[in-house]
A and B are shown apart, each in its own frame.
Chain A
Amino acid sequence: MQIALVNPPRSNHDLAELGPPLGLLNLTRAAGDVGIEAGIVDFNLLWHTTPDLQIHFYERATELLLSTNARIYGFTSMAVDSHVSLELARRVKEANPRARTVLGGTHFSALAERIPHEYPWVDRVIPREGEGGLVDFAFACGVQPRAGSPKASTYSGVDLEQYFSVNPRRMVDVESARGCRFKCSFCYSPGHYPQRTSLDISRLIADLHELRDGGAKHFFLVDDNFLNEEERAIEVCAALEAASMDLTWHCYATLPQLSPRAVVAMAHAGCVAVFTGIDAVGKDSQRTYGKRFANSSEDSGRKIRLCLDHGIVPTCAFLVAPPSHPCGADSEQTVKAALSARVLGANIRLNILTQYPGTRLASDSGQPVEFDDYRVRVGLDAPAVIASNDYAAVLPELFPFHSRYVPSKEWRDFVQQVHCLFTLLYARTDELADRLQQDRPTKLFPIATQVLEEIGDLLRIDTLGRRQAEVIAFDSINILDQIAV
């Protein structure tokens, strides 16, 4: 192949969202449209199908990449795995100095100015949407188009069954638009997609027909915000419903835009779940994050019920910040809001605030950061190669998942508390809700602290046993009678 596009390993145990990497597939299609042969080396899949990779990752991965004899190696990242892409690029360049290396995706895009300076083996960072930039770079490198027909579709040539063998949900990613109408301070999207774009609906439907025929059962519509424009979303839903493909799907959508009309249309079209970032609860958080969706718990509750009434399970995400952060005082209120969402039947996410480089939040923060991989090791389902990040020890400000912005002990305590609260909000929802319904003032973070005092540092417990240990500790001590604040 002329261009090898590389996806780092990312998932370890949680495989529900594993599927072919859509961003890289879009690049292969753009290259194919001008006669350039691009292929994907997906280590996020190979990690699970090639056991040797888990033992000698960098050596085997580099051998595999070099065996493609590509002229250009392109690496993406989802921020937490960016050091793996950097190290693979370094090794490829060292073994084959004539190869050209290029980085792209939201995280590298935000660091486009610094990376070539800090990591001289990287020839180019392509900012923002990469299709045009990659093709231009290939031509600038002297890559010659080859005779042949362009790719028929985004997914043509992908061995879907390999993915479905790892993820039995048989899930694929597709998109109908890019960008978000909101400009939240913590999010990469406003910088990455300064202009929103809508993609061709007929092409989406054609891709989905092909994917359904290839065995897909479910798709993730990865648009940053499916409900940017209600009329457009309704149009997409109508096309999906008319296509009658017997596929279910889920998407991202913002809470205020989950109107009855939109939800009904989504349900008709096969939507079974929606991810919605409530994120900011409390005045300080809403001001700092530039997001004011949770204006009242009644309003959030109405939206959750609306979705559930139409067979759409919402996943509500909440941002929590450690105590000494300016938004830290809102964390207790935030977790209680998450519990309320759980009680109504929503899924929840508790996300520790990440200050992504280049975002308004990170620029305004001015807080120094230090290397710390505790969060990745405790809070994320990360392969060992993702947890270990020597690059972050040198430049922690480039690696937001491998750094902290509060003192070490506070950070570790907070990471564990959030891990524990996530467990208890799911596994002991009823007990916690009962307590709060009794009108006895109860705080949730002290409950987590007491559980963690019982079991010790989570890092000393096997990854797969941590949540069980938290529940056992919770059940073994009569916490709810002891803690009244």
Chain B
Amino acid sequence: MPKERKDMNIPVEKLPVGQENIAIVVSARATAAREGQTPHPNKKKRKDPNQPKQR
């Protein structure tokens, strides 16, 4: 089990009613961000796509 993140729980009211529809489950955090709400406290800052992670 990966150990990188904590506080991943998403409020239950953000979950879709169904789970097998063709539609993709949309990130609740992304939804909140789109709607101008407070983002999830652990939301990682989006990196500049011009700077891919070095491996």
Contact = CB atoms under 8 A, between A and B. Distances in A.
B35 to A, nearest CB: 8
Contacts of A275: 24
Main secondary structure of the interface of A (DSSP, over half): helix
- Report which residue of A272, A345, A380 has the largest number of chain B beta carbons within 10 angstroms of its beta carbon: A345
Given A260-B55, A349-B19, 13 more contacts: A16-B16, A18-B23, A309-B47, A315-B24, A342-B8, A347-B26, A351-B20, A379-B18, A379-B20, A380-B20, A427-B12, A430-B8, A437-B3
B1 A340 contact: yes
Contact of B13 (A305, A342, A468): A468
Contacts of A11: 21, 23
Nearest to B22: A78
Interface in B16-34: 16-28, 30-31, 34
Contacts of B4: 343-344
B53 A419 contact: no
Interface string A420-441: 0011001111110100110000
B10 A315 contact: no
- Report which residue of A315, A349, A464 has the largest number of chain B beta carbons within 10 angstroms of its beta carbon: A349
Nearest to A428: B9
Given A272-B30, A315-B25, A381 B18 contact: yes
A340 B2 contact: yes
The 10 closest A-B pairs by CB, nearest first: A381-B18, A17-B23, A267-B49, A429-B8, A311-B46, A381-B17, A13-B17, A380-B18, A436-B1, A14-B16
Nearest to B45: A311
Given A169-B34, A273-B30, A430-B9, A422 B49 contact: no
A250 interface: yes
A343 B18 CA distance: 21
Nearest to B55: A260
B18 A313 contact: no
Given A306-B53, A468-B13, A433 B1 contact: yes
B50 interface: yes
Contacts of A468: 12-13
Interface in A396-422: 418-419, 422
B5 A379 contact: no
Contacts of B15: 422-423, 426-427, 467
A467 B4 CA distance: 26
B24 to A, nearest CB: 5
A329 interface: no
A426 B47 CA distance: 24
Contacts of B8: 342-343, 345, 429-430, 433
Nearest to A14: B16
A264 B17 contact: no
B18 A260 contact: no
A144 interface: no
B52 A310 contact: yes
A381 B16 CA distance: 8
Contacts of A267: 49
B45 to A, nearest CB: 9
B9 A343 contact: no
Nearest to A415: B20
B1 A16 contact: no
A345 B5 contact: yes
Contacts of A379: 18-20
Contacts of B12: 423, 426-427, 467-468, 471
A347 B3 contact: no
Contacts of B13: 468
8 contacts: A14-B16, A14-B23, A169-B26, A310-B52, A380-B19, A382-B18, A433-B1, A433-B2
Nearest to A375: B20
Nearest to B44: A308
Contacts of B46: 311
Contacts of A430: 6-9
A23 interface: no
B41 interface: no
A233 B27 CA distance: 24
Contacts of B22: 10, 17, 78
